[in-house]
Amino acid sequence: MEGLILFAVSISTLGAIYAMLCLSLNLESGNGPLWDLGIVSFFGIGAYTYTLLTADPALEQQSFLLGLGLPMWIGAIGAAAGGGIAAWLIGLPTLRLKREYFLIATLAFAEIIRQVFANENWLTNGVAGIYGLRQPFKSYFDAADYSYVLLALTLCGLAFTWYVTRRIIASPFGRACKALRENEPLAITAGIDPQKTSIRLFMISGALSGFAGMFYVWYNTLIIPGQFVADLTFFIWAALIIGGIGNQRGALVGGFIFIFLHDSLRFLQVSGEMAVAFTSLRTALIGLALILILRFRPEGIFAERPVRFDLPALKREARDA
Amino acid sequence: MDIITFGLISASVILLSSVGFALIVQVEGFLNIAHGQMLLLGAYSGLFLSNLGLHIIPASIGAAIFCGLVGALFYGLLFRPVKAKGVLVLLFTSVGAAYVIYGVVGAIAGKRMLAFDLPLVRAMKLFGQPFMTIYELAIVIVAIAVALCLHLFLAYTPAGKSIRAVADNEDLARARGIDPLRTSYLVWFVASALGGLAGVFLGIMGSLHLSMGWQQIIIILATTVLGGIGSLYGVMLAAFVIAFGIEIGLIFVPASYRSGLAFLIIVVVLLVKPQGLQALWGGGRDRTH
Amino acid sequence: MLEVSNVTLSYGGVRAIDDVSLTVAKGRIVGLIGTNGAGKTSLFNVISGFTRGDKGSIRFNGAAIENVRPSEIAQLGLVRTFQTPLGFPRMTVLENMLVFSRADAASRGRIFGRSKPDGAILEQAMATLDEFGLASRGNDLVQDLAAPELKMLEFARAMMGDIKLLMLDEPAAGVNPALLENLTSHIRSLRDRGVTFLVVDHNLKFISSVCEEIYAMADGRVIAHGDSADVIANPDVIRLYVGTGGADNSLSKEAEA
């Protein structure tokens, strides 16, 4: 029983991290006009930035840059900044492109970045990765209880991401992004600059994804390039589509549902050859779920809702003021 | 010499895997991510047939036909019903389809690396230097022949003309008495069969492993972008540019940067020509910013 | 207010606009007529910055705008419409209004702008919608509007910002006679509130009734310019319209009506 609870806590933590990424993706691709197939780049860069800033210096057999052992809050800022700056650098050339080209170009950069993680040993310790990374507030709690603490911390991160994305979507800036999604030429005649707006949006999403990367490091206590493959991008997209693209709640729920679908089978202990077949079938199942959702409920579990204003209440307010 | 040899061989495989993808882009208007898994399916079904004792040539043909049928089936079952819902739905349906193929092949074949059991041969010599093996030469010849046939097919046969007509303007094609449905099935069959054949070739040249579909789709995407989305001849040219670009680039960077190099090439090209190589022979469109 | 001088634009060897000059004075309603392919829409694209001309200068309120980005031209108050009014389909009518509002334009630069629009702005939006017969539609999605309602929304949202010159691209296309009356009176009332107009249309009757001044274009050139009545009576213009027949015979249709 206890094992089951710990397992549930563990996949909930992972679900919360996925939900953060879904919210970030929803901000740029659901509410905004950017079809980003490279969200894993910023997630990975955030995670590596955090690790390099906060980890202890490299040991003899290892090699990676920095290892400054800085406090975690600096690492958090670094993770977000890393993601945002990466988005800026990638966005400069690619945001000029049409949608389909942008899609492929972002996928391209994600692949290049992953190969850099894997090949540049001096920077990241290569495919061997960096192990034994610290988790926050670990010393204050009993080791057995720590997974609850980590879940709580991750949920705080999720709440923060929720608040930020929600605020942005409701603001005039968010409205401008949505207008660009709907009808770019018309949005231009409203004085919206597609370039400037898109790059800003891309950077915010990049920063939020980078921030989520920090939690992934805490969750795994290790970092390897294999964690940041294009699969993850497709998973996040699948999660967002299942939950409901363009809807905050959809993004939130989608992240958890996806993880429950994908990882709950992990609890069943099977051995050897069976396990391989099992993992493969799990992937096929995810594919099937995605196909079925798109076929029968393409708007997802929570469809995008129109932004409505409570007109009588506003009238009253205006009268009172 | 090595660069020419390897460049020629990998260009052939890239060409074969990309033309089918480009054909679907042209007719259906979306990026079919599942195309990469057709290569996986082709490679493994080819291996299956070859392990049954079939000679490699009928095994390749059988694998190609099998993939073609699966492709046509996927079209009818998965893609046609959601066509009206837009590009994004089609794209992610193809991602779903890719995972289904990947998962099913993985469950049956397992994670081990496999290889075709072909008799070993010595490389033929050209000007006294080892050039390529008979298998590699066959791959190059078949790929070029396929590209040529595809061109003749599209340009001169009624079925090929109908494909081009549907790609240009579906409504107009229908008005001219072409059945777009039959044309679409044909396209999916041909495209997927070519993908399957490319998969067998990829397996012959190296080994078979589960991630080969994902790795190759990345190269295919790079080729398609470089050629200009939807331009078949652009893609044919791009296959050679990418292949030789990679081989030359590998002089300077480690081999593990292979697909990264392909992407670096397209990033550079897109910066100069945002419409891909097809912009070189016109076809640029108005941009809003 | 708007001075276009010697603008030229070629597409792959074809001169879409050939040395065109025109002037729109403040407070005027100026028409631009011509057959399909005469270069009217191309000229619109060049003025609004969507396409860059090959040659020539464009000045708006004294400032050169031929190299200014389209969004910045819109910010200056020179706003165009498109032939098919679509709006932002999956946004509500009020959201569509807000996107064009002064308040949104002012705080768009901040990422954390206010998350609830100012009550006064919404009041203004609602009052404007009321004026254009869309009061009950405020919270509906634009994709659910009927075609005439979409037309009205184009005018309504123009009232939300600081539009100085509104360029209408074929406002009368596909519009029934009753709505056309309505359109004419709205253009006039907007003009009375300080908006200048440049209107492209095929419908000569509509153009001549609403515009005070007309430019006629053919094959990328201006072939006639002057008071509405004079241009309509110009033999070159008549020949052009009657002679083409086929795809574009608005005048003969009007004559039959």
Q: What is the DSSP string of C49-81?
A: TSS--SEEEEEETTEE-TTS-HHHHHHTTEEE-
> What per-residue confidence (pLDDT) applies to B279?
53
Averaging pLDDT over each range in B39-48, B140-149, B225-234, C247-256, which range is the top one?
Answer: B39-48
List, in sequence order, every residue forming a beta bridge with C59; answer none if it has no partner: C3, C64
Q: Is the pLDDT of residue B286 over 60?
A: no
- For residue A272, name the pLDDT band (cuts at 50, 70, 90): low
Residue in B with minimal Cα distance to A116: B257
Phi, psi for residue B281 in degrees, rounded to 5: -115, 45
Dmax over CA atoms of chain B, in Å, equals: 60
Q: What is the pLDDT of residues B103-129, one digit of tens each?
A: 999 988 877 778 887 777 777 777 777
Tell me, what's the pLDDT at A267?
65
Q: Is B110's CB within 8 Å of A276's CB?
A: yes
Contact B105, B210 (CB under 8 A): yes
Segment 50-89 of chain C within 8 Å of chain A by CB: 50, 69-72, 74-75, 79-82, 86-89
Report chain C residues whose CB lies below 8 A from the CB of A309.
94, 117, 122, 138-139
Which site among C9, C41, C50, C69 would you substitute to test the B interface, given the most B Cβ atoms closer than 10 Å to its Cβ? C50
Looking at the fold, whether C132 and C189 belong to one and the same domain comes out as no
Q: Within a domain: residue B246?
A: no
- Find tokens 């079952």 and name the residue: B77
What is the band of C85 on the pLDDT scale with cuts at 50, 70, 90? confident
Q: Is the pLDDT of residue B88 over 90?
A: no
- Are C71 and C182 within one domain? yes
Domain count, chain C: 2
With a pLDDT cut of 90, the percent of chain A lying above it is 58
User: ∠ CA B192-B195-B196 to the nearest 5 degrees?
Assistant: 90
- The total number of residues shown for chain A amounts to 321
pLDDT of residue B124: 72
Subunits adjacent to chain B (3 or more Cβ pairs under 8 Å): A, C
A residues 30-59 closer than 8 Å to B (CB)? 35
A9 to chain B, closest Cα gap in Å = 27
Per residue in B45-61, pLDDT (tens digit) is 999 999 888 888 899 99
Whether residues C139 and C189 share a domain: the answer is: no
Q: Give the pLDDT mean for B22-48.
A: 91
Chain C: nearest CA to A218, how far in angstroms? 29
- A115/B256 Cβ within 8 A: yes
Mean pLDDT across chain B, nearest whole number? 84
Domain hosting residue C234, numbered range: 2-77+162-255
Is C166 found in the same domain as C144? no
Which residues from chain C sit within 8 angstroms of residue A306, using beta carbons?
90-92, 95, 139-141
pLDDT at A314: 63
Q: What's residue C248's pLDDT?
A: 44
Residue A152, pLDDT above cutoff 80: yes
CATH of the domain at C181: 3.40.50.300
The yes-or-no verdict on residue C252 having pLDDT over 80 is: no
Q: Which residues of C touch A87 (CB under 8 A)?
A: none
More confident: A77 or C235 = A77
Assess if residue B216 is contained within a domain. Answer: no
Domain that holds residue A22: 1-318
Over residues A217-271, the pLDDT tens digits come to 999 999 999 999 888 999 999 999 999 999 999 999 999 999 988 887 676 666 6
CATH number of the domain to which A119 belongs: 1.10.3470
C164 has a chain A CB within 8 A of its CB: no
Residue C247 binned pLDDT confidence (cut-offs 50, 70, 90): very low
Rounded to the nearest 5 percent, the helix, strand and coil shares of chain B are 75, 0, 20
Residue B67 is part of which domain span?
3-211
In one-letter notation, the amino acid at residue B93 is: T
CA dist., res. C82 & res. C80, Å (int): 7
Query: In angstroms, rounded to a whole number, what is the distance separating the alpha carbons of residues A296 and B232?
Result: 33
**Chains touching chain C, criterion 3+ CB pairs below 8 Å:** A, B
Nearest to C119 among A185, A188, A318 (CB): A318
Cβ within 8 Å of residue B15, ≥6 positions away = B143, B144, B146, B147, B235, B236, B239, B240
Report the domain count for chain A.
1
Share of chain B above pLDDT 70, in %: 92
Identify which of A99-108, B133-142, C75-84 has the greatest average pLDDT.
Answer: C75-84
**Greater model confidence, B179 or A230:** A230
- In the structure encoding, which two tokens stand for residue C146, read together? 């009927």
Q: pLDDT value at position A250?
A: 95
User: Would you tell me which residues 204-263 of chain A have a C-beta closer than 8 angstroms to some C-beta of chain C?
Assistant: 204
Interface test with A, best of C69, C71, C110, C163 (most A CBs within 10 A): C71
- The C-alpha of C105 sits at a distance from chain B's nearest C-alpha, in angstroms, of 19
In a domain, B241, yes or no: no
Ranges A304-308, B65-69, C242-246: which has the least confidence: C242-246
Share of chain C above pLDDT 90, in %: 37
Tell me the mean pLDDT in the region A95-120: 86
H/E stretch holding A17 reads helix A2-25
Better-scored residue on pLDDT, C237 or A33: A33
* Stated pTM of the model: 0.89
- Per-residue pLDDT at B283: 38
Question: In this structure, are C72 and C167 located in the same domain?
Answer: yes
Instruction: Kindly report the average pLDDT of chain A as a whole number.
Output: 89
Contacts of A170 in chain C (CB under 8 A): 115-116
A-B interface: how many C-beta pairs under 8 angstroms? 148
Mean per-residue pLDDT for B207-225?
86
Chain A residues touching residue B96 (CB < 8 angstroms): 238, 286-291, 294
> Which residue among C103, C124, C159 closes a domain?
C159
Task: Report the gap between the CA of B104 and the closest CA in chain A (Å).
Answer: 6
The residue of chain A nearest to residue B221, with distances taken between CA atoms, is A104
Q: Report pLDDT for C59.
A: 94
- Total domains, chain B: 1
Residues C102 and C116 in one domain: yes
On whether both C38 and C68 belong to a single domain, the answer is: yes
pLDDT at A183 > cutoff 90: yes
Chain A touched by C34 (CB under 8 Å): no
pLDDT of B11 over the 50 cut: yes
Residue with tokens 């066509």: B83
- How do residues C155-197 score in pLDDT, each as one tens digit? 898 888 888 999 999 888 878 888 888 889 889 988 998 899 9
pLDDT digits (tens, 9 = 90+) for B164-176: 777 777 777 777 7
Residue with the bigger pLDDT between A156 and C242: it is: A156
Which candidate from B95, B106, B225 shows the least CB-CB separation from A101?
A: B225
Chain A residue closest in CA terms to B81? A295
- Nearest CA to CA, how far is A243 from chain B (Å)? 14
Q: How confident is the model at residue B66 (pLDDT cuts 50, 70, 90)?
A: very high
Buried/exposed C132-146: b ≥16 CB within 10 Å, e otherwise: bebeebbebbbeebe
What is the rounded distance in angstroms from the CA atom of residue A289 to the CA atom of residue B93? 10
Predicted local confidence at residue B179, as pLDDT:
78
So what's the pLDDT on residue B1?
A: 65
pLDDT digits (tens, 9 = 90+) for A298-320: 888 898 888 888 777 766 665 66
- Determine, yes or no, domain membership for C82: no
Does residue C50 lie in a domain region?
yes
pLDDT mean over A287-294: 91
Residue-level pLDDT at C93: 94
If you measure CA to CA, which chain A residue comes closest to B84? A295
| pLDDT, position B84 | 87
Look at B273 and B284; give whichever has higher pLDDT: B273
Indicate whether C56 and C155 sit together in one domain. Answer: no
> Quick check: B262 pLDDT over 50?
yes
Who among A200, A307, A318 is closest to C120 (CB)? A318
A28: alpha, beta or left, given left = phi > 0 and alpha = psi -120 to 50?
A: alpha
Q: What is the DSSP string of B10-62?
A: HHHHHHHHHHHHHHHHHHH-S--TTHHHHHHHHHHHHHHHHHTT--HHHHHHH
User: Considering the domain boundaries, does residue C8 fall inside one?
Assistant: yes
For the stretch A58-92, pLDDT in tens is: 776 777 777 787 888 999 999 999 999 999 999 98
Residue C94, Cβ density class (10 Å: 0-12 exposed, 13-18 middle, ≥19 buried): buried
List of chain B residues whose C-beta atoms are within 8 Å of the C-beta of residue C12: 282
Q: Given this model, what pLDDT does residue A318 score?
A: 57
Contact B103 A283 (CB under 8 A): yes
Give the model's pLDDT for residue A319: 62
Which whole-number Å values give the CA distances from A139 to A149, A306, B91, in the listed order? 11, 47, 47
For helices A2-25 and A230-243, what crossing angle results, to 10°? 90
Neighbour subunits, A (≥3 Cβ pairs < 8 A): B, C
Work out whether strand C55-60 and strand C2-11 pair parallel, antiparallel, or are unpaired.
Answer: antiparallel
Contact B25, B31 (CB under 8 A): yes
